[in-house]
Amino acid sequence: MKKIVVASNNPVKIQAALNGFQRMFPAEEFTIESLTVPSGVSDQPMSDQETITGASNRAARAAQVLPASDYWVGIEGGIQEWDEDIVAFAWIVVLDHRIKGKGRTGTFFLPKEVSRLIRQGKELGEADDIVFGQVNSKQENGAVGLLTGNAIDRAKLYEEAVILALVPFKNPDLYR
């Protein structure tokens, strides 16, 4: 049984990581552990680079804390200005003892009111909760779930990016 450490206690991120591993490696069995480690970036990353740095830092710090594991996963949601709009996405970084895999979610544009609240200093999850009248939506369906009527929720969005981050592990001879 392989041990995965997810560098977050957010149940959405934990489930997305487990689902991604199970889909990529259906013959394997996994246990999963979570812990909180600092990202080393802003609470609300405001660029593509800051977001991937946060995911990478989380995975690396999880490996330092629990080195006897098989995989470490960092998941970081971020936003970025795009002309007059703000877009949202996440980066996933997966490490083992030899390989580093990276995957990015799809990108979607945020509504003007959510963007306005972010520009006033709110984090995306907080802005979503205000606009949509929710509580702690980032640990449930997230902005993407709220905006798509759950056709895509946050777990599904992250799961696909976990799978993309696992490509080097599925094809190790091509990525070493």
Inside any domain, residue 97: yes
Inside any domain, residue 92: yes
| pLDDT tens-place string over residues 7-21 | 999 999 999 999 999
Inside any domain, residue 23: yes
With 80 as the cut, is the pLDDT of residue 139 above it?
A: no
Inside any domain, residue 84: yes
Instruction: Please report which confidence band the pLDDT of residue 145 belongs to, taking 50, 70 and 90 as the band edges.
Output: very high
What pLDDT does 135 receive? 86
| pLDDT tens-place string over residues 33-91 | 999 999 999 999 999 999 999 999 999 999 999 999 999 999 999 999 999 999 999 99
* CATH code for the domain of 163: 3.90.950.10
Instruction: Please report which confidence band the pLDDT of residue 29 belongs to, taking 50, 70 and 90 as the band edges.
Output: very high
What pLDDT does 123 receive? 92
With 90 as the cut, is the pLDDT of residue 136 above it?
A: no
> Which residues, 6 or more positions from 71, have their beta carbon under 8 angstroms from its beta carbon?
2, 3, 4, 5, 21, 94, 95, 96, 169
Inside any domain, residue 170: yes
**Measured distance CA(5)–CA(73) in Å, rounded:** 6
With 90 as the cut, is the pLDDT of residue 99 above it?
A: yes
What pLDDT does 141 receive? 85
Inside any domain, residue 132: no
**Across 114-137, average pLDDT:** 93
Q: Which domain holds residue 34?
A: 2-108+152-175
Inside any domain, residue 121: no
Mean residue pLDDT across the chain: 95
What pLDDT does 77 receive? 95
How many structural domains does the chain have?
1
